A and B are shown apart, each in its own frame.
Chain A
């Protein structure tokens, strides 16, 4: 019997338990004028939880240990005598037995596997039945125990609510677990990478070529892992070109929408920015590669700029800048809205025009908020993947020519991890080291940005 079928059986038992307990509790009469402590539904849930939860915990454990037990039994059986000693061949035979039994493999390669198959199947049957009956017994026992405890003065609600609270707490702990998981997985793989390539070379080297052997004497000897060109490319595209596009356009958009546009106009213009923010990055990337990059290249060729590439930094940066506009605009919008009305009124009352008020009073006052927003935008731009994967190049150049090809951290992560590579080659591990750098930098940018924004908000409150 499959685990899934047992699961449904257990859930069905819980359902029955819920109804039975609720029906029993509904019949409780007030004793000495005191009404029952909990509502019938609470009694129902109490019994249902007792029926389901222990059985589910048992099933979770069982699903993990049963395959091992089954295989052990098959090896112990007479058919399992004469197996080769632990090694490649033995595990190949065992996995073939498993595959044959599941029906994943049709014909076998090892005769030994065919020989063991009946024993394995019998053992699997035995353990399957044992697991199912144990789970059902647990469910029945739990349900019966809880059912016998039901009395009018039994505090079922308190107990059910305690379980609910534990469930809520566990749900919120998943966020911490995820963060820990990210940090741990990145750190572990990065440490393995640094045992093959020195951190100094990774962080300060200027030659990046993970695919081919550069120097025979090099540690890891599969390539050069100097990540400076990657960091530069990331900063060049995400923090320079994209921001040159996004900051003026985003800021001016926010100013126009909040200070000038009539409500009717705003109602029509604002959704444009929202749609721009909702377009998936793969669409931006495709557009950059298909339309913008050739245009940029032919412009560069026309203007006679040397080193023009069809995978230019400029094309990726421009499109990324457009993508970031809504983000910058909404951050600027928030911080301008947070400037006290009195400052604006004061400036206007002194005879300043609206634009003078904006330029000399509102923007300087909102500057910390805007700067915080820009930092968040930078952290978003450098973590952006699809636009640069599709429109920026793979050549790790250290160049300030926006028409040349540069590569970024995220491009290289995708590039390193999408080939057919064994998992512990320095090439694959390098992707995790790059990921760790990216994680730390975006984290720092976010922390600084939030602190700046918070401090500035406090100044006006």
Chain B
């Protein structure tokens, strides 16, 4: 009797319309919504971080591309500068300029124009602008001239609304006299490192990066492509091939700083190649980039359908001809995409280059692959360590330049992928 009631109880259909079930379903739907929201939120956290990072960098860095200049009146005939315009006409001009006390003249002119302590309103390198002006037109030595020279860091920051009250006041006075202007900072794009933040430029580091990347590309691309071709097309299945595959996959996962240690021990201490040279940097980065190219290359080669190989073999091509006339051209867009992505990674790499000494202070861009050089990310690292406040915006500006390059490279990679990659 009892058990019969129990069975009946069990068999009673679920009351979906009942409040208990309705509540349960509501709870489950609420949980569903919460879960979905959580997923969206976690993506938005990444997006917010990225946006914050970019806004901070652009906010700081945009100011690094501008430069405050002061119009400096110089009365050459009455200055202490003993420089004959005729001496600057031809040969020996550089020697004459180097011998003249332009620095003192500039400081004296600033004191005369802006009162005592006027020289402190100008950048330490203001005299370089005066020298360049004289070089451009020696005739100005015969009379009074007005030359635009870079302002000191404090004035520069004041012009950008970011400085101590004293500098603000000095800037206000200059503004009233209408002798300041803020313009695009060409110096930043054309000069190399300097100890004065108003005089630094990234061209030195950028050129170092380009030379290093060139060495990397020349070494890593052929080796990577050949290794990928060998492994995909010719390698017999044996223990040696496995060993090669395992080492390539491991190399792709080895921390980059280990490559720096390798470069230091092998290229510098064993082979005695010059320290800080783009050649060594390029070699080190090539070892790091090669596995990326091999892996991307193998995927691209794998994607070429076997029917193409069969067709070529069928009409009498040799295996080398099949690969070099048919497989490689068809896989090339994929290989290039992978290469560009690997090169972009190498361009942003810092740690291994610190190990091989590409962190020297260099006031001039490198002339070749054996000259001491530094690269863009290392320059950013070095500037980030500087105490002077003027370097903050220069660091961010350098980061913007680096990001623009990376963005451009990735853009090219995406374009190549979309334009040339074929789906078989």
Cβ–Cβ contact A157 & B318, under 8 A: yes
Task: Give Cα A278–Cα B414 distance, bound, in whole angstroms.
Answer: 13
Query: 8 Å CB contacts to A: which residues of B204-228?
Result: 222-224, 226-227
Contacts of A165 in B (CB 8 A): 234, 320
Decide: B39 and A253 in contact? CB cutoff 8 A.
Answer: yes
Interface status of A249 (Cβ within 8 A of chain B): yes
Asked whether A153 is an interface residue with its Cβ less than 8 Å from the other chain, the reply is no
Contact of A386 (CB < 8 Å), options: B29, B264, B350:
B350
In the assembled complex, which residues on chain A have CB atoms less than 8 Å from the CB atom of B247? 175-176, 178-179
- Interface 0/1 of B37-60, CB less than 8 Å to A: 011111101110110110011000
CB-CB < 8 A to B53: which residues of A?
279, 283-284, 287
**Is B258 an interface residue when CB atoms closer than 8 A count as contact?**
yes
CB neighbours of A353 from chain B (8 A)? 28-29, 31-32
A38, closest chain B residue (CB): B318
Q: Is the CB of B266 within 8 A of A181?
A: yes
User: Considering the complex, which residues of chain B in the window 375-424 have a beta carbon less than 8 Å from any beta carbon of chain A?
Assistant: 377-378, 380-381, 384, 392, 395-396, 399, 402-403, 406, 410
CA distance A252 to B38 in the complex (A): 7
Stretch with Cβ within 8 A of B (4 or more), from A69-77, A135-143, A366-374, A439-447: A439-447
- Is A185 an interface residue when CB atoms closer than 8 A count as contact? yes
Q: A281-B348, A358-B35 are in contact. Are A443 and B230 (CB under 8 A)?
A: no
Query: What is the chain B residue whose CB lies nearest that of A322?
Result: B49
Q: A168-B230, A172-B226 are in contact. Are A282 and B261 (CB under 8 A)?
A: no
A252 and B254 in contact, given A278-B344, A286-B399 (Cβ under 8 angstroms):
no
Q: In whole angstroms, what is the CA distance A384 to B352 when docked?
A: 11
Chain B residues with Cβ below 8 Å from A278 are: 344, 348, 406, 410
- Chain B neighbourhood of A286, CB < 8 A: 380-381, 384, 395-396, 399
Taking the complex as formed, is A438 at the interface, i.e. its CB lies under 8 A from any CB of chain B? yes
- Complex contact A386–B381 (CB within 8 A): yes
User: Do residues A256 and B39 form an inter-chain contact, with CB atoms below 8 A?
Assistant: yes
- Tell whether, in the assembled complex, residue B42 and residue A252 are in contact, meaning their CB atoms are under 8 Å apart: yes
Are A272 and B264 in contact, CB atoms less than 8 angstroms apart?
Answer: no
A164, closest chain B residue (CB): B320
Query: Complex Cα distance A450/B222, Å?
Result: 28
Chain B interface size, under 10 / 10 to 19 / 20 to 34 / 35 or more: 35 or more
Closest chain A residue, CB of each to CB of B400 = A283
Q: Which of A352-384 contact B (CB under 8 A)?
A: 353-356, 358-359, 376, 379-380, 382-384
Closest to B288 in A: A178
CB distance from A105 to the nearest CB of B (A): 16
The interface centre, meaning the residue of A291, A379, A413 with most chain B CB atoms within 10 A of its CB, is A413
CB distance from A408 to the nearest CB of B (A): 11
Contact residues in B for A325 (Cβ distance below 8 Å): 46
Q: Are A272 and B403 in contact (CB under 8 A)?
A: no
A414 touches B258 (CB 8 A): no
Asked if B262 lies at the interface with its beta carbon under 8 angstroms from chain A, I say: yes
- Indicate if B4 sits at the interface (CB-CB under 8 A): no
* A269: Cβ under 8 A from any B Cβ: yes
Residues on the B chain within 8 Å of A283, using CB: 53, 57, 348, 380, 399, 402-403
Flag A376-407 by CB within 8 Å of B: 1 or 0 each. Answer: 10011011111001100000000000000000
A248 at the interface (CB under 8 A from B): yes
The docked-state distance in angstroms from the alpha carbon of A457 to that of B132 is 68
Q: Hey, what's the 0/1 contact readout for B219-261 against A, CB within 8 Å counting as 1?
A: 0001110110111001100000001100111110111111101
Chain A: minimal CB distance from B375 (Å) = 10
Asked if B258 and A253 make an inter-chain contact with CB atoms under 8 angstroms apart, the answer reads no
A439's contact among B57, B254, B266, by CB below 8 Å, is which?
Answer: B254
A417 at interface by CB-CB < 8 Å: yes
Also in contact, A355 and B31, with CB within 8 A (given A181-B262, A257-B43, A280-B402):
yes
- Say whether B254 contacts A282, CB under 8 Å: no
Chain B positions 352-384 with a Cβ under 8 Å from a chain A Cβ: 354-355, 359, 377-378, 380-381, 384
Residues of B within 8 A of A172 (CB): 226-227, 230-231, 235, 244, 294
Q: Which residues of the partner chain A approach B258 to less than 8 Å between Cβ atoms?
A: 182, 186, 383, 435, 438-439
- Cβ 8 A contact of A385, one of B244, B350, B359: B350
Can you name the residue of chain A whose Cβ is closest to the Cβ of B399? A283
Contact check, A253 vs B351: say whether CB atoms are below 8 A apart.
no
Is B176 in contact with chain A by the CB < 8 A criterion?
no
> A273 an interface residue at 8 Å Cβ cutoff?
yes
CA distance A174 to B254 in the complex (A): 16
B11 an interface residue at 8 Å Cβ cutoff? no
Instruction: Given the known inter-chain contacts A379-B253, A385-B257, please indicate yes or no for A282 contacting B403, CB distance below 8 A.
Output: no
Which residues in A have their C-beta under 8 angstroms from that of B229?
A: 168
Q: CB within 8 A of B42: which of A175, A176, A256, A439?
A: A256
Assuming the A-B contacts A168-B227, A410-B351, are A178 and B251 also in contact, with contact meaning beta carbons closer than 8 angstroms in the complex? yes
Knowing A172-B227, A185-B265, A282-B380 are in contact, say whether A291-B42 is a contact too (CB < 8 A). Answer: no
A148 to chain B, nearest CB (A): 25
Whether A446 contacts B350 in the complex (CB less than 8 A), given A181-B266, A256-B39, A286-B380, comes out as: no
Please give the distance in Å from A77's CB to the nearest CB on chain B: 26
A18 at the interface (CB under 8 A from B): no
B349 beta carbon closer than 8 Å to chain A: yes
Q: Which residues A238-266 have CB closer than 8 A to chain B?
A: 248-250, 252-253, 255-257, 259-260
30 contacts between A and B (CB under 8 A): A169-B230, A171-B222, A172-B294, A173-B244, A175-B290, A186-B258, A186-B261, A250-B42, A252-B41, A252-B42, A256-B36, A269-B47, A279-B403, A283-B348, A283-B402, A286-B381, A286-B396, A287-B53, A291-B52, A325-B46, A385-B255, A386-B350, A389-B381, A410-B257, A413-B261, A414-B355, A423-B269, A435-B258, A442-B254, A442-B255
Binding site for B on A (CB under 8 A): 157, 161, 164-165, 167-169, 171-176, 178-179, 181-182, 185-186, 188-189, 248-250, 252-253, 255-257, 259-260, 269, 272-273, 275-276, 278-287, 289-291, 322, 325-326, 353-356, 358-359, 376, 379-380, 382-386, 389-390, 410, 413-414, 417-418, 423, 431-432, 435, 438-439, 442-443, 446, 450
Q: List 17 other contacts, CB 8 Å, given A256-B36, A279-B50.
A: A172-B244, A175-B248, A182-B262, A186-B265, A249-B42, A259-B39, A272-B43, A278-B406, A280-B348, A280-B349, A290-B56, A355-B36, A385-B255, A385-B257, A417-B261, A442-B253, A443-B253
- 7 residue pairs, one from A and one from B, having the closest CB atoms: A383-B255, A280-B348, A256-B39, A171-B226, A185-B265, A355-B35, A385-B351
